[in-house]
């Protein structure tokens, strides 16, 4: 029944699937982001209180959301790698880390630009921004640990443990930072029953979220391909790919 799952243990299969999926995700991301930007920057009206500066939300919120989502993917695949020793899971975690760190950085920078008109300063130690900064540190720590251990197997397992430890810690960090400074606005879309955002603004926001999600999947596929080639460089099927110039 679960025979298909073994396909994901087969690198050539995953490589071919990723090669096929990468452009599909890339195209979807481009469409969503372009339409979302048009709707958000041109069509959507200005906010009653914040004027045009609220429009940073169309970049800030999707990247902040992705910074969390990518970490969840990283931690889940790390756990899968630790439990079942599935090499693909480790490649996914390895591939996700820099993408997640980039989303976190975008969220921080856009948050700072939003903060200037909102709070009168680029940076205040508000809860959301502070946890985002700590998340960036955790991403950087993960990547630093991976690159400091020479043996790839050891590096992979140590980094996987760190990712799992982080996922237990992140809610605690988030919660404590929230208590430490409860000045930021509550999450806007988390109230699913009644979004307190007007539909003309919500539509482009959701499009941007979908676009960023697809962008992540596109980047993931590209990096997973690289990861597979790096790890399987000594195998016959990679040699064949190279010989046929299809890398």
| 226: contact with other proteins by CB under 8 A | no
3-state secondary structure of 97: helix
Q: State which residue, 7 or 154, has the beta carbon closest to other proteins.
A: 154
Which residue among 24, 43, 165, 239 contacts other proteins (CB under 8 A)? 165
Tokens 């071919």 map to which residue?
16
Stretch that binds other proteins, among 32-40, 67-75, 181-189, 216-224 (CB under 8 A): 181-189
CA angle at residue 62 from 61 to 65, to 5 degrees?
Answer: 85
For residue 51, give Cα distances in angstroms to 55, 63, 64, 234: 9, 22, 22, 58
CB of 216 to other proteins, least distance (A): 22
The CA distance from 5 to 158, in Å, is 25
| 97: contact with other proteins by CB under 8 A | no
CB of 6 to other proteins, least distance (A): 16
The CA distance from 68 to 167, in Å, is 10
Beta-ladder partners of 51: 47
Q: State which residue, 72 or 144, has the beta carbon closest to other proteins.
A: 144
3-state secondary structure of 193: coil
Report residue 146: phi and psi, to 5°: -60, -40
Which residue among 21, 35, 50, 80 contacts other proteins (CB under 8 A)? 50
Stretch that binds other proteins, among 14-22, 26-34, 186-194, 209-217 (CB under 8 A): 186-194
| 46: contact with other proteins by CB under 8 A | yes
CB of 7 to other proteins, least distance (A): 20
């Amino acid at each position: 029944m679960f025979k298909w799952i073994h396909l994901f243990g087969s690198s050539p299969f995953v490589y071919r699937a990723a090669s096929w999926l990468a452009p599909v995700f890339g195209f979807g991301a481009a469409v969503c982001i372009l339409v979302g930007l048009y709707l958000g920057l041109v069509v959507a009206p200005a906010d009653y209180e914040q004027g045009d500066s609220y429009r940073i939300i169309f970049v800030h919120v999707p990247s902040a959301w992705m910074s969390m989502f990518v970490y969840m993917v990283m931690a889940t695949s790390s756990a899968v790698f630790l439990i079942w020793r599935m090499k693909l899971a480790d490649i996914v975690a390895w591939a996700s880390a820099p993408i997640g760190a980039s989303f976190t950085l975008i969220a921080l920078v856009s948050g700072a630009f939003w903060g200037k008109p909102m709070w009168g300063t680029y940076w205040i130690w508000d809860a959301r921004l502070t946890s985002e900064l700590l998340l960036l540190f955790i991403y950087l720590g993960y990547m630093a640990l991976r690159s400091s251990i020479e043996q790839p197997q050891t590096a992979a397992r140590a980094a996987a443990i760190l990712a799992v430890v982080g996922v237990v810690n992140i809610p605690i960090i988030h919660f404590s930072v929230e208590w430490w400074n409860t000045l930021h606005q509550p999450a806007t879309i988390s109230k699913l029953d009644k979004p307190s955002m007007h539909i003309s603004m919500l539509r482009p926001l959701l499009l941007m979220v979908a676009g960023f999600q697809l962008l992540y999947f596109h980047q993931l596929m590209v990096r997973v391909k690289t990861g597979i080639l790096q790890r399987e460089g000594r195998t016959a099927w990679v040699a064949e790919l190279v010989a046929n110039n299809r890398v």
